[in-house]
Amino acid sequence: MTIVALPMMDPVYVEWKKFLQTGSPDTCKARQQIIESWDRCYHGGVDPYDDQIHHQLDDLNLHKVLKEKEKLIQIAKPFMYKIYKFFKGSGFIIVLTDENGCILEMLCDENNRQNPMTRCFYPGVSWREEDVGTNAIGTVIKLREPLQVSGAEHYCKKIHSFACSAASIYDSNGRIIGVLDISYASHASHLHTLGIVVAFAEAITAQLSIWQKNCELVLLNKRVTNFLNTVSDGVLLVDNNEVVIEINPAGKAMLGKSEQHILGIELKRLFDSRSGEMLTASKSYHDVEITVDIQGGGCQCVASREPIINEQDVVTGGIIFLRSLKQVKNMVNRFIGSSATLQFNDIVGKSVQICEAIHDATRAATTTSNILLTGESGTGKEIFAQAIHNQSAKHNGPFVAVNCGAIPRELIGSELFGYDEGAFTGAKRGGKPGKFELASGGTLFLDEIGDMPLEQQIALLRVIQERKVTRIGSDKMIPINIRLICATNKNLLEEVAKGTFRLDLYYRLNVLSIIIPPLRERREDIQPLFEHFLEKLSREQGCKYSVEFEVIAYLNRYHWPGNVRELQNVIEQAACLAENGVITVGHLSEVFYAPSSLREQAVPQPNDTIFSREQRKKMAEFTEKDKIISKLDAFAGNVSRVAKELGISRKTLYNKMRLYAIKN
């Protein structure tokens, strides 16, 4: 590039000299942007006569900057080459800088690199206003608008022989991330040069925006893919023809099919006709219950759908979410408190009777057989039920308790088995799952089973036998996997004799029988229970209680028709009446210190107890006989197999068969 000296009488040069002498922009006649830049340089202490190479980065910092701006350089270089081809051989220098005016890349003819006047053009050199005075690169960064600076418009004399045209490059947030500049001899200055720079700077900005959008799309795609692969819900994407175009792993597992048997298939062909019609609605819906037919039975799910709409507000497909109804039920049970919190160590007592009951219940918990808990009201049957659940293999599943005596006869069927939409007047839209469905995967505790209406006992027997439940108003059978525990304060054999309880249902429920003793038969547990409940009450109320010695004596003489529940109520009543935290005999109910004849009226006589000793013996014999018969049926009369299954010898088994008059 040939450097031509600027004529000393150039009008701009005269104005430049005048400004340096006066330091006043008001007396100068030049472009406003140039005068304002001169003023910044003058007050910033820039030396206009300094001919040294201005500020530059060391190799380490330059490497760091080039690494940070790697993508900008990569995108800008092809555009710089296009400009270079256009101006090749004309002595032009094409420069790319960062937002701080540091040169990142430059293209020029080889002879220009050797020219002493271009020694300030190489990577790492700064072209900020603060370092080199008024120039296109540094001033554009200040003004945020394209600019051409020519000859004496430069603040420093050493670059008066140049003309520069520069424009900023922006990111998607409108921040300057670089500057594109063309520098050349001032005598070759032309306004079209600035237009070329602006056009290419805008092209680089647009290309950067496209790259950034692509990066965002790639990142979004990865996030969506990771979400679809890890989410427990099944997710299906369909096009506007209701054809499946995408499915996640959970969805494939729910449908029980491989990807090749799902993609490209119409949605309605993957489900039964009723479910398919519901799912293919183009509008959105939420928590619609459907049945997915898979090998080995049906899977209950809830489905939700959202339409996919393009920029013209046209529905182009949909996204469908499938969630296992079992998963939903477990979540519901967790939030509504359908869980067991009590363990066997929460049962207070050291008497032989209660220890035997705990021992039997602990062994029963390890099995999957149905359990019948028998005992008077207030003996703690639900505590045993919860403890058995928590000790069983289904302890991670729900524990759903139902009091059969507290539900109206006409509602107990829908409560236990659920109902479909439209099953009866007042039925909820979408239907409602019953307690058997909610307890699936866990334990269903049916308290007061002796109060269940006879007509519902037939349905209950069918569910127990088939391990499937059919909602009222539906013909679909829903598989269930539950542990059934029942409890009663009645003698079910007597109820069978009365015709109010089915004998075949009794057989099904009474696989393992646990009799919980009344409190009067384990009097040594009265004091430990009293102390336990009083300590619990003290913690809750933040009050310390003391007890007169005579109180325990009165409690031990009482027969406790209400059992442990009555004892707990007595303690709470006495604590409320106690003055200064001292519980005395006077705080007990009148029945405790009334004449013995009056107390006798509250004492259940032997004939009035739930089961007499003779009845219990007969029940045990009846249960054992039933068990032997069922095992003989199961093993086709093979005595050796039955004896091994029952854990007794063949001789003992033959003796029991003779005792119970069992014919093989």
What pLDDT digit, counting tens, does each position of 443-473 carry? 999 999 999 998 899 999 999 998 899 888 8
pLDDT of residue 386: 93
Residue 631 and residue 369: Cα distance in Å, rounded? Answer: 14
| Residue 643 banded pLDDT, cuts 50, 70, 90 | confident
Q: So where are the chain's domains?
A: 11-213, 233-325, 337-515, 519-608, 613-659
In which band, very low, low, confident or very high, does the pLDDT at 334 lie, cut at 50, 70 and 90? low
pLDDT at residue 477 tops 90 = no
In terms of average pLDDT, the best of 63-67, 88-92, 188-192 is 63-67
pLDDT at 331: 61
Residues 136-193: tens digit of each pLDDT: 999 999 999 999 999 899 999 988 888 999 999 999 889 999 999 999 887 766 768 8
Asked if the domains at 11-213 and 233-325 fall in one CATH topology, the answer is yes
- In the chain, what percentage of residues exceed pLDDT 90? 37
Q: Name the pTM for this structure.
A: 0.51
Class of the domain covering 613-659: mainly alpha
Predicted local confidence at residue 317, as pLDDT? 87
Which SS3 state, helix, strand or coil, does residue 214 take? helix
- Four-way CATH pick for 233-325: 3.40.50.620, 1.20.120.530, 3.30.450.20, 3.40.1110.10: 3.30.450.20
Mean pLDDT to the nearest integer, 63-86: 93
Check pLDDT > 70 for residue 543. Answer: yes
List the CATH code of the domain at 337-515. Answer: 3.40.50.300
Q: Is the CATH number of domain 11-213 3.30.450.40?
A: yes
Q: pLDDT band for position 4 (50/70/90)?
A: very low
**Chain segment 191-234, per-residue pLDDT in tens:** 688 999 999 999 999 999 999 999 988 998 888 888 888 888 88
Residue 596 has pLDDT above 80, yes or no: no
Q: Which residue has the tokens 């006066």?
A: 22
Q: What's the pLDDT at 3?
A: 41
Average pLDDT across the chain, whole number: 83
Contact 574, 587 (CB under 8 A): yes
Q: Indicate if the pLDDT at residue 282 is higher than 80.
A: no
Question: To which residue do tokens 């109902």 refer?
Answer: 419
Give the burial string for 154-183 (b: 16+ CB within 10 Å, else e). bbbbbbbbbbbbbbbbbeeeeeebbbbbbb
N-terminal to C-terminal alpha carbon distance within the chain = 119
Check residue 651 and give its pLDDT.
81
pLDDT of residue 117: 63
Architecture of the 519-608 domain: Orthogonal Bundle (1.10)
Residue appearing with tokens 């709470």 = 572
Stretch 326-341: mean pLDDT: 62
* Lowest model confidence (mean pLDDT) among 19-28, 238-247, 416-425: 416-425
Helices (H) and strands (E) in the chain, counts: 26, 21
Burial class (CB in 10 A: 0-12, 13-18, 19+), 60: exposed
